Amino acid sequence: MGGIITAYILNAQDYSLSTWISAYFLGTLPAILAHLFIVPMIVIALKKAGLLK
Encode pLDDT of 10-41 as tens digits. 666 666 777 777 877 888 888 898 899 999 99
Distance CA 45, CA 51 (A): 9
In the chain, where the domains are located = 2-48
pLDDT of residue 50: 95
Cα distances (Å, whole numbers) of residue 1 to 5, 6, 33, 34: 6, 9, 20, 21
Q: Is the pLDDT of residue 7 over 80?
A: no
Task: Name the band, by pLDDT with cuts 50, 70 and 90, for residue 1.
Answer: low
Distance CA 39, CA 47 (A): 12
Give the three-class secondary structure for 15.
coil
pTM exceeds 0.85? no
Distance CA 44, CA 50 (A): 10
